[in-house]
Amino acid sequence: MGTLDGKVALVSGSGRGIGREIALKLASEGAAVVVNDLDPEPATQTEQDIKAAGGQAVACVGSVTEDGFAERFVNTAVESFGGLDIIVNNAGYTWDTVIQKMTDEQWDTILDVHLKAPFRILRAAQPYIKANPTDYHRKVVNVSSAAGVFGNPGQSNYAAAKAGVIGLTKTLAKEWGRYKVNVNAVAFGFILTRMTEAVSGDDTFVEIGGRKIKAGVSQAVMDRVKTSNPLGRPGTPAEAAGAVYVLCAPETDYVSGQCLNVDAGSR
């Protein structure tokens, strides 16, 4: 038996990287998971991998920034699995430059995906949560970042959005406590994903939402991460997922309104 048997979880951005590991971890503990990604292939792959391991999953493909997505996401959980108990707002990416070179489009795009989308998903979930009380605690985990706590050069848009996530988290913890919902955040440090892998030579790009976004970091940056991190290495997506799982487990029923730094003590 898993600690999350019978629970239903939404995990945005769960086709790849950290989000995929979060979905796999929650499913391994018994949760039925609504998997989401911009693209059908990674979302379907995560769904299939969960089912192959004996779990329950369904894919809800689309951008978290699309009008109407939040309602469709919530409805998928209720219609597919009969409930909604866990929300993990994880979807996002970075689009970096220094402030004097940052366009309004860059600013708005990153604020939309990291802050407006979680707001919309939580707003869409509130009527169901209010109308369907439980004798156990529901959980919300919003993914923030060390950049939102400490700032990071070249990421004014991302840092502002992730700082906003912490404010949203603390406010919802106060609003939703009466519904027996714990609302917390995780602030990830350097976690090794396709966006943070060390690259050399020509720039590496990934396509996200029709835009080519620079991915990866230089070997010099990776070396600095290793020397400044007390554990001497970046975190893994599975380790990041473990921190999210802890905040979804019954053992944290009296933890709410908190932001857990997941950075090996780097700051």
Look at residue 202 in the predicted model and tell me its pLDDT: 59
**Residue 214 included in any domain:** no
Look at residue 51 in the predicted model and tell me its pLDDT: 98
> Residue range 38-58: average pLDDT?
98
**Residue 153 included in any domain:** yes
Look at residue 193 in the predicted model and tell me its pLDDT: 87
- Please give the mean pLDDT across all residues of the chain: 94
> Residue range 242-264: average pLDDT?
98
Look at residue 79 in the predicted model and tell me its pLDDT: 98
Q: How far is the C-alpha of 37 from the C-alpha of 20, rounded, in Å?
A: 9
In the chain, the number of structural domains is: 1
> Residue range 49-59: average pLDDT?
98
Task: Name the helix (H) or strand (E) containing 33.
Answer: strand 32-35
pLDDT digits (tens, 9 = 90+) for 185-224: 999 999 998 777 766 655 667 778 777 677 667 777 778 8
Asked if 158 is an active-site residue, the reply is yes
pLDDT digits (tens, 9 = 90+) for 85-144: 999 999 999 999 999 999 999 999 999 999 999 999 999 999 999 999 999 999 999 999
pLDDT above 90 (res 19): yes
CATH number (domain holding residue 178) = 3.40.50.720
pTM strictly above 0.85: yes
**Residue 206 included in any domain:** no
Q: Which of 93, 128, 136, 158 is catalytic?
A: 158
Q: How far is the C-alpha of 230 from the C-alpha of 98, rounded, in Å?
A: 28
Q: How far is the C-alpha of 163 from the C-alpha of 175, rounded, in Å?
A: 19
Domain that holds residue 116: 8-192+234-262
Look at residue 199 in the predicted model and tell me its pLDDT: 63
The residue among 76, 51, 50 whose CA lies nearest residue 62 is 76
As separate numbers, helices (DSSP H) first and strands (DSSP E) second, the chain gives 9, 11
pLDDT above 90 (res 54): yes
**Residue 166 included in any domain:** yes
